């Protein structure tokens, strides 16, 4: 009988698929996750005179509200030479200094552009527009080193949502330009490694489809990095949270990396505060079981946190548009298209979803 039990036990242990995590392990609720929020608009919003309130309605500095809620990491986008000065190195450095003073980690999303960089936009900075490819590599190296020296972030992305590559057309991921893309990435990585022993490097793409191919190219070309970053928004990347879970686990094991949901968001309402069209405004854009209510938003974020907790490859999550309230007035047509997905309601009061960041 003892022999039989032993055989059964061994069969169970060896049948465990490590990617499914069926074998018992540490209590997942105790993981030290990245619990991040992106607040890149904050300097512009504060400049407009907006005051934020905590869940009790008490006016406070936003960083204090986030810190008290359990947020441990602040993500900030960086543009090379922005037309307005917002998201410039000077502004980002000042915000990063404030973040560090609160005891939170700084995560930089470097766009390598003068404006938004994403799967549909990866435009070189104007200052580099006529550079030869050799000079472009040097520019990436020197610029990244300048950023590292000025800010010394805890996490840095070499590019933002770089599915098609970055610094297009030179650094695309197509067959003819893939070697250039890899060379540019490696120059950014080199600058980080030469400047810091502690900063973690993230490679970041949008969505779940195609992510495996992308990270396969990095692996095949020996690109050095620490974290896989994925943007996940149900409106664009699918509404099946089981796919999110399986993708995090499969990518983590395939490339021996920790995985972060680098961007996500969900609405607390389908209504609006200003006259700027909101990106999410219909029930058909929602995940089943998670209505566009304060509780629905909170439960959605708690579910993503649970997914990252349970996965041995889940390193954390970051909420995008935390601060992007209607800061230009109730009738602005160029205000916020994200006001109903912020972590502050139409009265600039903290929403229940911030409870998902608790330690």
Q: What angle do CA 97, 33, 70 make, to 5 degrees?
A: 60
Question: Closest Cα partner for 318 from 278, 259, 272, 274?
Answer: 259
From 161, 200, 323, 339, the catalytic residue: 161
Which neighbouring-strand residues pair with 258? 227
Length of the chain in terms of residues written: 359
Q: Which of 91, 200, 263, 323 is catalytic?
A: 263
Catalytic annotation on 331?
no
Nearest CA-CA partner of 301 in 207, 346, 234: 234
Cα 52 to Cα 46: distance, rounded to the nearest angstrom: 9
Identify the helix (H) or strand (E) that includes residue 33.
none
Tokens of residue 203, six digits: 């490679």
Q: Which residues make Cβ contacts (< 8 Å) with residue 190, sequence separation at least 6?
A: 141
> Which DSSP helix (H) or strand (E) runs through 60?
strand 59-60
| Buried residues in 142-178 as b, exposed as e (16+ CB within 10 A) | ebbbebbeebbbbbbbbbbbbbbbbbbebbbbeeebb
Q: Is 263 a catalytic residue?
A: yes
**Distance (Å, whole) CA 108 – CA 204:** 12
The answer to whether the CB of 314 falls within 8 A of the CB of 307 is yes
CA 155 from chain centre, in angstroms, equals 11
Strand 52-53 to 59-60 pairing: antiparallel
Residue whose C-alpha is closest to residue 159's, from 201, 191, 204 = 204
Distance CA(150)–CA(185), nearest Å, equals 20
Catalytically active residues are 161, 263
């Amino acid at each position: 009988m003892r022999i039989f039990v032993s055989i059964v036990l061994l069969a169970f242990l060896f049948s465990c698929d490590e990617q499914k995590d069926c074998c018992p392990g540490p209590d997942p609720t105790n993981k030290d996750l990245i619990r991040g929020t992106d607040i890149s608009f904050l300097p512009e919003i504060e400049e407009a005179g907006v005051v934020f309130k905590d869940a009790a309605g008490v006016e406070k500095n936003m960083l204090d509200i986030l810190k008290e809620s359990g947020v441990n990491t602040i993500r900030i986008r960086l543009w090379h030479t922005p037309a307005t000065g917002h998201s410039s190195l000077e502004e980002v450095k000042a915000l990063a200094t404030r973040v560090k003073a609160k005891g939170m980690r700084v995560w930089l999303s470097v766009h390598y552009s003068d404006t938004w960089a994403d799967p549909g936009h990866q435009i070189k900075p104007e200052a580099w527009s006529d550079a030869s490819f050799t000079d472009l590599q040097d520019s990436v190296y020197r610029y990244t080193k300048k950023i590292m020296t000025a800010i010394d972030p805890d996490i840095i992305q070499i590019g933002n949502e770089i599915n098609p590559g970055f610094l297009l057309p030179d650094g695309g991921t197509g067959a003819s330009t893939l070697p250039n893309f890899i060379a540019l990435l490696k120059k950014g990585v080199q600058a980080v490694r030469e400047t810091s022993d502690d900063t973690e490097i993230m490679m970041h793409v949008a969505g779940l489809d195609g992510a495996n191919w992308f990270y396969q190219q990095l692996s095949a070309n020996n690109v050095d990095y620490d974290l896989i970053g994925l943007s996940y928004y149900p409106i664009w990347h699918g509404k099946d949270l089981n796919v999110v879970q399986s993708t995090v686990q499969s990518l983590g094991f395939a490339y021996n990396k920790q995985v972060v949901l680098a961007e996500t968001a969900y609405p607390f309402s389908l209504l609006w505060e200003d006259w700027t069209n909101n990106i999410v405004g219909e029930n058909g854009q929602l995940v089943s079981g998670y209505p566009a209510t304060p509780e629905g938003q909170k439960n959605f974020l708690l579910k993503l946190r649970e997914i990252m907790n349970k996965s041995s490859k889940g390193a954390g999550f970051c909420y995008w548009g935390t601060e992007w309230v209607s800061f230009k007035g109730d009738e602005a047509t160029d205000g916020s298209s994200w006001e109903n997905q912020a972590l502050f309601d139409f009265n600039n009061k903290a929403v229940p979803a911030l409870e998902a960041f608790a330690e």
